[in-house]
Structure 1
């Protein structure tokens, strides 16, 4: 004879224990990002390129123009592509496997998913970049010292601030990749768009004769691209640092708004 089991009641305390909160969403996004092998491959390549390129630049330094902090932060022009691609993969990997459906089912507030993923990716790139540039500084200091070219650590503007600015720029590049990932959803398309904005477009615009007044607007557009703004933020000239910070912030805000709109109006 079959028996009927009494229904199991869930106490309010138990339900509250498993209530969805933003810190839990952040933890979930961190687990997803940290368990991807591509994440650590990208971080490892960023560190390897940062230290290797810094050593090469320091070896080539023959005057103060290549001395100072430049050999340490200069490699960001190469590693920025890896940062952007990592941001793309963090998003499109979920779309390619269908995991994005589970994510949005667990947390139907799509803005929360976007914010959590953006924060996790940005913090990871910022902290790992500080480690990369710090390792590069440790490597190039004796190389530059042998040439009589030192890094001035006595003032923040000459040493610490450029490293922090370069790390911030790497986080911005990753967020641009995140934005393209949500907007395009295709890994190949989002990577192509990210590389185009970060690397190809500055090269294309540099072809135009900006000395000609008719093409002066090209120079204005070029200075507002992420790479140009990052260069001005890291090693500012004529007080252009605050404007460069605003430009990079505008790229992040515009990208996040576009990503949020794409998440809101389209099904997973």
Structure 2
């Protein structure tokens, strides 16, 4: 009789959830966030509304400019609609995370990637990239639309920084508005609350601070504070005013960075 040697136990090539090989790479995490964002109908509605506002308002501004005589820069006609599309950008950023909290998907997200800071960074990359691309594409389309309205002989596009820098800065501004909304979404975790806070900072608060102009010079310092709100700072940024350019750039970037930092602190300390 021949003895049968015991076979070696079968080994399964599996990894524990906490094992490094089981963790998502950052590229895959970003890809999953893109998929989640673009499978929402609200995303497409937001992007479509922002595109229509950019092109439509640019055309209206270009058409109305003939009433004021020559001198309007076509670049200004393209960048001015940002003061309206910033609301759409902020709302989109807020909905990108609050929707996960309302449906409970955030628990699945944090189970797949327990390192919460990476989740926040991945969502920030997706929102900033999406809105930057939207702003770049719609600005190009708006430029093509207003050219026959303004007339190349009557209005100079300018060159160098007068042409490209305001457009690039408007792209940056749109990305920061979306990140501001995303940060408040992480902080508040409620869709209505995050949207109301974002719209309040971008649109309502500047109007409230302007009312202090009626109370005399003793309240002028409050009016001056309004210059550093996100929307006003971004508007001053695209005007290329040399005296306030760098402070405006700092304010434009500081608002979303500070808000996202607070969102990261909340994400780390609260349960999903």
- Does 2:15 match 1:9? no
Distance 1:174 1:116 in 2: 14
Go from structure 1 to structure 2 and tell me whether the alpha carbon gap of 1:51 and 1:8 turns closer, same or farther (over 3 Å shift). Answer: same
Query: Residue 24 of structure 1: CA displacement?
Result: 1.5
Q: 1:86 aligns with which of 80, 84, 92?
A: 92
Q: CA deviation at 1:219?
A: 2.3
What is the TM-score normalised by the length of structure 1?
A: 0.91
Q: 1:226 to 1:65 in 2, by over 3 A?
A: farther
Match of 1:261 among 251, 259, 265: 265
| 1:232 aligns to 2:236 (yes or no) | yes
Q: Kindly indicate whether residue 211 of structure 2 is the aligned counterpart of residue 207 of structure 1.
A: yes
Deviations 1:65-105 (A, max 9, x none): 53331111111111110000000110001011100000011
Give the distance between the partners of 2:260 and 2:73, measured in 1 at CA. Answer: 37
Say whether the 8 Å CA contact 1:92–1:186 is kept in structure 2: yes
8 Å contact kept, 1:197–1:225: yes
State whether structure 2 residue 102 is matched by structure 1 residue 96.
yes
Check conservation: 1:184, 1:190, Cα contact below 8 A: yes
Q: How big is the shift at 1:11?
A: 6.9
1:170 to 150, 170, 174: 174
User: For each residue in 1:135-181, what CA deviation from the matched residue of structure 2 results, as whole angstroms up to 9, or x when unmatched?
Assistant: 111111111117712322x32x2211111111110100000100110
TM-score, normalised on structure 2?
Answer: 0.90
The answer for unaligned runs of 5 or more in structure 2 is 1-8
Q: How many residues align?
A: 259
Residue of structure 2 in register with 1:3 after alignment? none
Q: Which of the two has higher C-alpha Rg?
A: 2
Q: Which of 45, 51, 58 does residue 54 from structure 1 map onto?
A: 58
Structure 1 position 249 matched with structure 2 position 253 = yes
- 1:183 and 2:149 are equivalent in the alignment: no
Task: Please give the root-mean-square deviation of Cα atoms over the aligned residues, in Å.
Answer: 1.9
Q: 1:16 to 1:261 in 2, by over 3 A?
A: closer
